[in-house]
Amino acid sequence: MTLPTVLPLLVWVLPFAAFVLLAVVAPLRRAGPRAGLLSIGAMGVAFMAALVVWVEDFRGEATWSWIPSDGGPIATVGVLVDPVSNAMLVLVTLVSLLVQVYSLAYLGDEPPASLGRYYTYQSLFAVSMLGLVLSPGFLQMFVFWELVGLCSYLLIGYWYERPAAARAAVKAFWITKLGDVGFVIGIVLLWSATGTFDFGELFAKAQEHALAIDRLGTIMFLIYLGAVGKSAQFPLHVWLPDAMEGPTPVSALIHAATMVTAGVFMVTRAEPLFALVPEVLTLIGWVGAFTALLAATMACVESDIKRVLAYSTVSQLGYMMAAAGAGAADAGFLHLLTHGLFKALLFLAAGAVIHTVGTNDIFRMGGLFRAMPQTALVFIVGTLALAGVPPLAGFFSKEAVLSGVWEAQLTGPFLMLALTALLTAFYMFRVVFVAFFGRAFGAGHPHEAPWLMRGPLWLLAALTVAVGIRLAMGGEHEAPAWLVSLSLALAFAGFALAWAMYQRGVVDPATFASALAPLDFLARRRYGIDALYGGLYRGLVLGFARLIGWIDRYLVDGVLNVLSALTLRGGDGLRRIQNGRPQDYVYGVAFGVLLLIVWAQLWR
């Protein structure tokens, strides 16, 4: 144990200690804001430690054996410190910290007890994600993976009295579990083939080409399924928009730093293994690009500001996955980091808007720029970053993704992603124009959010700009010049379209929608995927349950009923034999004697 491993471990231990304290010491938890301060304090120190780890570029690995067995321990737990995990540590702790600070104001009206519960969950969420990030092997990753799922369930269902929130939480839990089944089967198959869960050993074998396992493609596909569920890839993306039922800071946390990034992180982490199976990689690329496009079209017709952002997250996750599928996992990971920053920014800004306006519907907002210029400004910064406008962070990572996909000669996905870039700019500026400009929407006096909420916003906006400039100076993007012009043109086209439609009113949105009627129809109905799942659930699961119920009621119970009826009837019949007349009993004795005689003479 040296400093490079102790410090990352400390990053993990601090929120864990906060969680244990809050979970065990009930009075502290019920204290509400004080519980929040404890959690924030722990997270703040953890963030400092993570920053040190990142800046110093620590590397190292410390493991302890786990699950002892005859042939040595089956798995190891510990911390794996490398640039990927360092960057994730910073992102997770930063976003968690800011979200927790922000929540102090956003959820200020909550009763103290449930606010304490909220911060307990928050700490556990951070613990799970940090543990996942530091995992040196698949097994530990899976454990924390599931904990992340649990925490998202708890936080999405934070307002569990609301049926919609409870349903959304269950939906998120089950849909991601669907993928997790594949994940766990995959890692167990991998273990049975190689005998190890350890990334280090697996990668070493992969590099020596010693990983010639039968069905490696199937195994990696199963593992990828876990990422499909967690990172909301098509067709398991349906839980993410519904997850908006949770408090807005939770959405920010889930979408920016934890939960959905877990899938991308896992694919990035296991990239040397995925590299061995090009067909799975290609699938990842196609699915990612398709998810990006699909989600973008749905975002264009959504009027709920949080849902627009949710679809945009799905879309951007598609970008990241497409990059990973194209073999440019670094680009995907970079996009994950930058996206984490500006998506947290967008969500928190949206939260500030919702907090003051009291509705999620962008068409019931309008003219908010005057009322809350600071929030509007940071929201626009986030929008520009998401649309990919230089020199903001999103531009460079998106360029990296696009060039990575292009270089992998995945033309189809590239075209889809390019179209998505246009749509991204369109739907984001649509929100900006409708919500922040245009005519004010009558009632209510929107006002700027308290500084506890504005502080994180400004910090994130500054970071978005700073990281963008840092990337521009570092010259890390090596995209061809035509690609830069293309994506700029696409972003501008999206902006212009949104401006024309929602600001100037040159193009009537309704006319435009009717021009693309089938697409509009489908997108507004989420392409029927939710309905499909609902139908499948009702048709298959409920049908099966009904069938089982019928079998239980009529066959199983029927057999038992028949048996019991037979017993009753039989007993009733036999009862009549006992007629109480002694001489009839003597007949019985006589028959018994006869039987004995016959038996003795014939069979003895």
Partner 1 sequence: MTLETVGFWVVAALLLVSSLAVVLTPNLFHAVLYLAAALVATGAVFLLLEQPFLFAVQLLLYAGGVVTIVVFAIMLTERLVGERVGQASRHPLNGAIVAAAVFAGIVGFLIQAPIRATAPAPVVDTTASIGRALVGPFAVTLELLGVLLVAALLGALYFARSEE
Partner 2 sequence: MSGLQAYLVLAALVFAIGLFGVLTRRNAVGILLGIELMLNAVNINLVAFARFNGDLGGVVFTLFTISITVAEVAVGLAIVIAIFRVRRTVEADRLDLLRG
Cβ neighbors of 404 (< 8 A, separation 6 or more) are: 323, 326, 327, 328, 331, 332
Q: Interacting stretch for partner 1, rule CB under 8 A, among 16-24, 404-412, 556-564, 591-599? A: 591-599
Q: Interacting stretch for partner 1, rule CB under 8 A, among 98-106, 472-480, 519-527, 583-591? A: 583-591
Q: Tell me the residue length of the chain.
A: 604
Q: Which does 582 bind (CB under 5 to 8 A by kind): partner 2, partner 1, none?
A: partner 2
- Residue 137 φ then ψ, to 5°: -155, 170
Three-state SS string over 506-541 comes to CCCHHHHHHHCHHHHHHHHCHHHHHHHHHHHHHHHH
Give me the least distance between CB of 572 and partner 2, in Å please.
9
583 forms part of the interface with partner 1 (CB under 8 A): yes
Report the residue number, 210 or 586, with the smaller CB distance to partner 1. Answer: 586
575 forms part of the interface with partner 2 (CB under 8 A): yes
587 forms part of the interface with partner 1 (CB under 8 A): yes
**One residue of 517, 576, 601, 604 binding partner 2 per CB under 8 A:** 576
Q: Interacting stretch for partner 2, rule CB under 8 A, among 158-166, 273-281, 434-442, 581-589? A: 581-589
Q: Interacting stretch for partner 2, rule CB under 8 A, among 5-13, 155-163, 407-415, 582-590? A: 582-590
Q: Which does 598 bind (CB under 5 to 8 A by kind): partner 1, partner 2, none?
A: partner 1
590 forms part of the interface with partner 2 (CB under 8 A): yes
Instruction: Tell me 362's DSSP state.
Output: G
**One residue of 521, 537, 587, 599 binding partner 2 per CB under 8 A:** 587
The span from the CA of 350 to the CA of 430, in Å, is 14
Give me the least distance between CB of 555 and partner 1, in Å please.
46
583 forms part of the interface with partner 2 (CB under 8 A): yes
> For residue 269, which of 145, 405, 179, 150 has the smallest C-alpha distance?
145
Strand, helix or coil at 108? coil
Cβ neighbors of 382 (< 8 A, separation 6 or more) are: 342, 343, 345, 346, 349, 460, 461, 464
Q: Which does 576 bind (CB under 5 to 8 A by kind): partner 2, partner 1, none?
A: partner 2
581 forms part of the interface with partner 2 (CB under 8 A): yes
Q: Retrieve residue 12's tokens.
A: 């993990």
- Residue 76 φ then ψ, to 5°: -125, 150
Q: How far is C-alpha 52 from the chain's CA centre?
A: 28
Q: Interacting stretch for partner 1, rule CB under 8 A, among 156-164, 453-461, 472-480, 596-604? A: 596-604
**338-372: burial string, b at 16+ Cβ within 10 Å, e else:** bbbbbbbbbbbbbbbbbbbbeebebebbbebbebb
67 forms part of the interface with partner 1 (CB under 8 A): no
Report the residue number, 473 or 600, with the smaller CB distance to partner 2. Answer: 600
Report the residue number, 160 or 585, with the smaller CB distance to partner 1. Answer: 585
Q: Which does 577 bind (CB under 5 to 8 A by kind): partner 1, partner 2, none?
A: partner 2
577 forms part of the interface with partner 2 (CB under 8 A): yes
590 forms part of the interface with partner 1 (CB under 8 A): yes
Looking at 157-244, list the stretches that DSSP marks H as alpha helix, in order from N- to C-terminal side.
163-194, 199-207, 216-230, 239-242
Strand, helix or coil at 487? helix
Q: Retrieve residue 34's tokens.
A: 């004080």
Cβ distance 180 to 149 under 8 Å? yes
Angle between helices 411-431 and 393-407 (to 10 degrees): 160
Cα Rg, the chain, nearest whole Å: 30
Q: Which does 597 bind (CB under 5 to 8 A by kind): partner 1, partner 2, none?
A: partner 1
Give me the least distance between CB of 575 and partner 2, in Å please.
4
Report the residue number, 555 or 597, with the smaller CB distance to partner 2. Answer: 597
The span from the CA of 390 to the CA of 475, in Å, is 13
Report the residue number, 409 or 583, with the smaller CB distance to partner 1. Answer: 583
Residue appearing with tokens 């054996």: 65
Cβ distance 154 to 161 under 8 Å? no
Q: Interacting stretch for partner 1, rule CB under 8 A, among 10-18, 167-175, 473-481, 593-601? A: 593-601
Give me the least distance between CB of 576 and partner 2, in Å please.
7
Q: Interacting stretch for partner 2, rule CB under 8 A, among 34-42, 84-92, 393-401, 573-581? A: 573-581
424 membership: H or E segment, kind and range: helix 411-431
Report the residue number, 559 or 593, with the smaller CB distance to partner 1. Answer: 593
Give the residues lining the site for partner 1 (CB under 8 A): 583, 587, 590-591, 593-594, 597-598, 600-601
Give the residues lining the site for partner 2 (CB under 8 A): 574-583, 586-587, 590
